[in-house]
Amino acid sequence: MTANALPPVVDAETRQRSLDELRVREKAATRELDAIAAQRRRMPMVEMPDYTLEGEEGPVRLADVFGGRSQLIVYNHMWFPGQTWQCPGCTGFTSQFTRLEFLDAYDARFVIVTQGPIDEALAYKRRVGNAMTWYSTANSPFGADVGAPPGGGFAVNVFLRDGDTVYRTWHTSGRGTEQLSHSFALIDLLPYGRQEEWQDSPEGWPQSPTYSRWPGSEAIAERYGTDA
């Protein structure tokens, strides 16, 4: 089928000129991201209390969540008490991370922390087929202290461990988490992009309400879950 709206059709030379113009901006963006990463590496940090979280094997100190590594990325997963299906955005986002062993070479680990009780959190992990390691901060102020309080939103936090002392080095939330995802990077390459109403697209391009194309938690469970 032919779409209702299509990019203009031109000869190869004209298309290459357009690509060359775009490449200038793409390269500038790459260099800017390099500069941002360099500034991030120079950020000061703050010492954290000796929190105790709940893991699959029971209570665990924050310093031990590192699993012997010196660096830790934490995704704070939204949690709604009593709900069978948790945040679809968090569920879909974290479902992307299935092979994290490459972080071993960088002395780092990536885990999920949620406000949900550990038994409920692990049951949900199985229901949706999540492959990451989960911890609960239901009995700890950790979540509230790092920007993800009970009933609050999601967040990403990064920590550095020096012996038994843990420091918080970076934090983001909202669209700041997109840099961790491969899905939006792939979708943004497509001619029609994310097809969401807020995006700047040519006249006639397909557009839908924000989030409407995102898979729901039940759909994630149907695709990947082992205990749906």
Per domain, the residue ranges of the chain are 46-178
Tens of pLDDT along 15-50? 999 999 999 999 999 999 999 999 999 999 999 999
Q: How many other C-beta atoms can be found within 10 angstroms of the C-beta atom of residue 52?
A: 14
Q: What is the pLDDT of residue 140?
A: 95
Tens of pLDDT along 135-191? 999 999 999 999 999 988 899 999 999 999 999 999 999 999 998 989 999 999 999
CA dihedral 61, 67, 72, 77 (to 10 degrees): -70
Report how far apart, in Å, the C-alpha atoms of 125 and of each of 32, 114, 222 are: 36, 11, 13
Q: What is the pLDDT of residue 2?
A: 53
Q: What is the pLDDT of residue 226?
A: 80
Q: What is the pLDDT of residue 1?
A: 45
Q: Are strands 155-162 and 58-61 parallel, antiparallel or unpaired?
A: unpaired
Pick the CATH number of 46-178 from 1.50.10.20, 3.30.830.10, 3.30.470.20, 3.40.30.10: 3.40.30.10
Tens of pLDDT along 62-84? 999 999 999 999 999 999 999 99
- The overall average pLDDT reported for the chain is 94
The helix (run of H) or strand (run of E) holding residue 29 is helix 12-41
Rama region for 92: left / alpha / beta (φ>0; ψ in -120 to 50; rest):
alpha
pLDDT tier at 4, thresholds 50, 70, 90 = confident
Name residues whose C-beta falls within 8 Å of residue 222's C-beta, 6 or more positions apart in sequence. Answer: 228
115-127 average pLDDT score: 96
CA 147, 149, 154, 160 dihedral sign is positive
Q: What is the pLDDT of residue 202?
A: 93
Cα–Cα distance for residue pair 165/169, rounded to 1 Å: 13
pLDDT tier at 227, thresholds 50, 70, 90 = low
Lowest mean pLDDT among 1-10, 68-77, 101-110, 217-226: 1-10
Q: What is the pLDDT of residue 98?
A: 93
